[in-house]
Amino acid sequence: MAIHEGDIVARKSYDGDVFFRIVTIYHDRGIAELSGEDLRLYADAPLDDLELVSEEKRKQKERRYQQLEHDSNRLFHQDYQLLKSKREYTSSNAYRASVQHFEMPGRVLHIDGDPNYLKKCLRVYDKLGVPVIGKHVKETDMPDAVPKLVKQVRPDILVLTGHDAYVKSKGPTDDIKAYRHSSHFIRTVKEVRYHVSHLDQLVIFAGACQSHFEKLIRAGANFASSPSRINIHALDPVYLVAKISFTSFTDQVHVWDVVRNTMSGTKGLGGVETRGILRTGMPYHDPPQ
């Protein structure tokens, strides 16, 4: 059966472990460029190594990821309720005063190299109640485009993500040239940190599948992927920064507290201790009719 651009395929040499969407086919070279369907991974493969994924297999994997998303949602909402109870206890002077307050969660600027993933992420931000502005920017264009967007939007949290991959044949894991887009993420973080240097003034998440975690953190990211060079799920950055957005600025965000809400865990995501963003105010009044 012929394979076309846009088809969902798997690599036979990897036992079909990851589903990809074909981005471009180079018939003269006999290869195809691939974009992970659920994972933030970019790869290429010989055409004869690809096989179409059946509708049944797609539905099976979709059900598995839906369960993972459900678990992440559940953990986030558990944490949110605990944080909310703590804020209400504090603002009401240990429940001795009955005062309604309002909340100002941290605002996110989400920059994504994949327009399809950006749409998925924006839906989840909306479901979680996180204020967000989303922009599609190619990874190669991020170092020039993102600092200007940060200056315009003035977010509390910046997400830099898209696709990446470590290519073993190009060098060892400490060689930045062996990564597809890690260098672009690193340059972008450095450019942004030149203007906003304090880690608690602007919280940055950067990276995608198999990204160079250590260099991203040294460049100035609060959180990044991927400590064990594994693939991360498309929605992992959303769950991570949502926890920061809804944590009070008076509280420290411990790395495990945010990573445990994700689907990839500590092998896929890590970071440094960071302050929360949310602020509460009072009194709360319904807007005039």
pLDDT at residue 88 is higher than 60 = no
Spatial CB neighbours of 138, under 8 Å, sequence gap ≥ 6? 113, 162
The burial of 104, by beta-carbon neighbours within 10 Å (0-12 exposed, 13-18 middle, 19 or more buried), is given as middle
Based on its alpha-carbon atoms, the radius of gyration of the chain, rounded to whole angstroms, reads 20
H-type alpha helices, 129-159: 142-153
User: For residue range 91-126, what is the model confidence (pLDDT) as tens digits?
Assistant: 545 445 556 777 899 999 999 999 989 998 999 999
Q: Is the peptide bond before 226 cis (omega within 30 degrees of 0)?
A: yes
Cα–Cα distance for residue pair 207/85, rounded to 1 Å: 33
Single-letter residue type at 29: R
Question: Hey, is 159 helix, strand or coil?
Answer: strand
| Predicted confidence band of residue 41 (pLDDT cuts 50, 70, 90) | confident
> Which residue in 143, 145, 106, 119 sits closest to 241, CA to CA?
106
Name the band, by pLDDT with cuts 50, 70 and 90, for residue 84. Answer: low
Contacts of 42 by beta carbon, 8 Å cutoff, 6+ apart: 33, 34, 35, 36, 163, 164, 165, 180, 181, 208, 209
User: What is the residue whose two structure tokens read 């950006």?
Assistant: 118
**Residues paired with residue 233 on neighbouring β-strands, in sequence order:** 39
How confident is the model at residue 95, as a pLDDT?
46
Residue 156 has what pLDDT?
97
Residue 135 has pLDDT above 60, yes or no: yes
The CATH classification of domain 71-281, taken from the options 3.40.50.2300, 3.30.1300.10, 3.20.20.140, 3.40.630.10:
3.40.50.2300
pTM (2 d.p.): 0.84
| Domain regions of the chain by residue span | 8-53, 71-281
Question: 121, 99 in Cβ contact below 8 A?
Answer: no
Q: Is 255 helix (H, G, I), strand (E, B) or coil?
A: helix
Q: What is the pLDDT of residues 164-215, one digit of tens each?
A: 999 988 999 999 999 999 999 999 999 999 999 999 999 999 999 999 999 9
What percentage of the chain has pLDDT greater than the value 70? Answer: 85
Give the pLDDT score at 58: 81
